[in-house]
Chains A and B, each alone.
Chain A
Amino acid sequence: MVSRLKDNISLTLVEVLIAMLILSTSAAGVLGSFSYAFKFILRAGAKIEAMNYGRKAMEAYRALTLVSASDPRLSDTPAVGEDVKGSASPNSIDTGDTWFSPDYGSDVKVIIADWANNGATGKQISVKVDWNAP
């Protein structure tokens, strides 16, 4: 090193570029691990959020069943797979999208079908929640 300092030979451009490339790769790995950790937290939160919307819809339909089993919102017409929010159809429990999920960008859809088994009849309610992983 000392001899290198005393002679007139300096680092070449290629050497500097290679050194910078190695350093950049190391730094990118460290910074990438931070980003991955934060993204993991966001992803977990989005999944919990979606699951709670599904539960919110199921509970709403349970409440409607207790009020009146003939409520039009429990009907499977006019469309199967109707959006829970924002639609003016009889299946929508929040026609104006004011309270169910005003800030949730993805769909919350419901399928309500008649159900029968050994003479017993009822309704089968299925809720599907789309969620965007961050």
Chain B
Amino acid sequence: MRLNNKSGMSLLEITIATLILSVVLISAGSIYIAGIREFNRSVEEARAQVEASFALDHIFLNLMGAKDIITFNPDNIVVTVYDTVTSSDKKIKYALSNGNKINFYPPYSGSPGTPEVIASADSIDLTFARPLWRDSLNPPPPDGTGTYVNNYVTINITVTKGRMSKTFSTGVTLRGMNP
């Protein structure tokens, strides 16, 4: 060992060693912090995607059993459903809120109650449409005199979170409604 060596290390050597150690520690710490940030960001993006998928299924399953469409707009819809709890017809509503949330209004009779947020992200685009022609040979105006199928509704949800943007689209036929 060098315990009896009187020469020791010079100040310059200790300073250089400290600097090198600092650089190594800072580099390791940076990778660690970047890893945690990347992990959190991935979790948030996955969560937004799952919520959008959940909202799509939520809307799909509730519209499937609907009996009628009361209000139809590009970013909100009100339909009549049969409430098995009260054995009566009730209304439910889906609406886009502030461009970053999808609200679900549980069964109500008069005015909608407090909504439940079923999806949220940095930004969300929710679109309802009824694009299916009733007669394939006769398009709706202005190209023809045909009409659209009333009980087929398409649902588009585009969710954006961080660097991730994803669009989910599906369609549903309202089983209890005349076409």
Identify the A interface with B (CB < 8 A): 2, 5, 27, 30, 34, 37-38, 41-42, 44-45, 48-49, 52-53, 55-57, 59-60, 62-64, 66-67, 71-73, 90, 93-95, 98-99, 101, 103
The closest CB in chain B to the CB of A52 belongs to: B170
**Residues of B with C-beta under 8 A to A73:** 136
- Cβ distance A51 to chain B, nearest Cβ, rounded Å: 9
Residues of B within 8 A of A (CB-CB), count: 34
Q: How far is the CA of A53 from the CA of B61 in the complex (A)?
A: 16
Residue from the list A41, A49, A52 in contact with B42, Cβ < 8 A: A41
Q: Is B115 an interface residue, CB under 8 A from the partner?
A: no
Residue from the list A38, A56, A71 in contact with B169, Cβ < 8 A: A56
8 closest Cβ pairs, A-B complex = A63-B152, A99-B131, A56-B171, A52-B170, A63-B173, A56-B170, A59-B171, A67-B179
Are A37 and B132 in contact (CB-based, < 8 A)?
no
Are B166 and A49 in contact (CB-based, < 8 A)?
yes
Are B149 and A52 in contact (CB-based, < 8 A)?
no
**Residues of A with C-beta under 8 A to B172:** 59
Are A66 and B173 in contact (CB-based, < 8 A)?
yes
Are B149 and A55 in contact (CB-based, < 8 A)?
no
Q: How far is the CA of A76 from the CA of B126 in the complex (A)?
A: 34
Q: Is B129 an interface residue, CB under 8 A from the partner?
A: yes
Are A56 and B49 in contact (CB-based, < 8 A)?
no
The closest CB in chain B to the CB of A71 belongs to: B136
The SS class assigned to the A binding surface is helix
Identify the B interface with A (CB < 8 A): 2, 9, 13, 31, 35, 38-39, 42, 45-46, 49, 53, 56, 60, 129, 131-132, 134, 136-137, 149, 151-152, 154, 164, 166-173, 179
Are B171 and A37 in contact (CB-based, < 8 A)?
no
Q: How far is the CA of A60 from the CA of B130 in the complex (A)?
A: 11
- Cβ distance B35 to chain A, nearest Cβ, rounded Å: 7
- Cβ distance A53 to chain B, nearest Cβ, rounded Å: 7
Q: How far is the CA of A63 from the CA of B60 in the complex (A)?
A: 14
Residue from the list B38, B152, B173 in contact with A34, Cβ < 8 A: B38
Are A101 and B170 in contact (CB-based, < 8 A)?
no
Are A62 and B38 in contact (CB-based, < 8 A)?
no
Are A99 and B154 in contact (CB-based, < 8 A)?
yes
Are B31 and A30 in contact (CB-based, < 8 A)?
yes
